[in-house]
Amino acid sequence: MATILVVGGAGYIGAHCCLDLAGRGHLPVVYDNLSNGHEEFVRWGPLEVGDLHDRDRLREVLARHQPAAIIHFAALIEVGQSLLDPLSFYDNNVGGTIALLSAASEAGIHRLVFSSTCATYGVPDATPMAEEHRQVPINPYGRSKLMVERILSDLDDIRGLRSVVLRYFNAAGADEEGRIGEWHDPETHAIPIAIEAAMGRRAGFTINGSDYDTRDGTCIRDFVHVMDLADAHTRAVEHLLAGGTSATVNLGTGTGTSLRELLDVVRKVSGRDVPVSLGPRRDGDSPSLVADNRRARALLGWEPKRSIEDIVASAWRWHSSRNAG
């Protein structure tokens, strides 16, 4: 069993990763400031409350637990907000990561799995997108993640920090046993919003842009189940623990779903209507983002197991349970 520091482990993907790590015999230690995470999601290991910028607190936690590796999830992630307040994104996503990397280096920790994003690619030249696709992000969120990727590459060359960068596409779904799920406030992600509309908890679902050059005019996204993502993170940690070298890996199903198709799946799973309105395109949105995941299969032995129907069904169960009564 290895002790793994999971930074941002009280958040959506981080908490599911802790669940998977514990199921594989590892001890996840969560480091989170709880600004976006939820204390009740920390169920598979200890919680250390602290901020990324607090280097003294980071040093204290690293000295106490002596983790074999770090998984770094802590980031601001909402694309639209990054366009309104880019400094906060650079301060948290880049500045906070630098503080974490400095503390890790001082503690002699040289293995890190980084939660990156397909937003580093920008508008695709072709889909599906392989890891070699040019990186020209079109929003501060994507640019902040790309900056960290380049910092990690430099540290690999200069200081021997081995890292696995996981560029995942659209995380979605929930733990199938309903213990944890997707919970943002405010909610900005497509599947929870569609489910809330089906439940009558919001007026409807707005499709932002219906004139893209796609098969039905709406954006196409590669939705990947959060437990499949968690599995990939555990595999990436074990790759590094076994002496594996640094790598960059896409995480997606390789299959795109348009927003109109997604809404049809929500209607099918829920048995309810989802009222729809049309709105203008949003700045920073790409028409289509679909992963080429062959490297993940080859390097990590990873394969996404759950379909878009599975994703929506697990999310529906989570939200139905959470909003019962």
- The verdict on whether 121 is a catalytic residue reads no
Q: Are 210 and 263 in contact (CB under 8 A)?
A: no
Give alpha helix (H) positions in the chain: 12-23, 55-65, 79-84, 86-89, 96-106, 140-159, 190-198, 226-241, 259-270, 294-300, 308-322
Contacts of 34 (CB under 8 A, 6+ apart): 10, 49
User: What's the CA gap between 242 and 164, in Å, rounded?
Assistant: 13
Strands 205-208 and 111-117: unpaired
CB atoms within 10 A of CB 53: 15
Q: Among residues 90, 121, 141, 212, which one is catalytic?
A: 141
Q: How far apart are CA 310 and CA 306, in angstroms?
A: 6
- Which residues are the active-site residues? 141
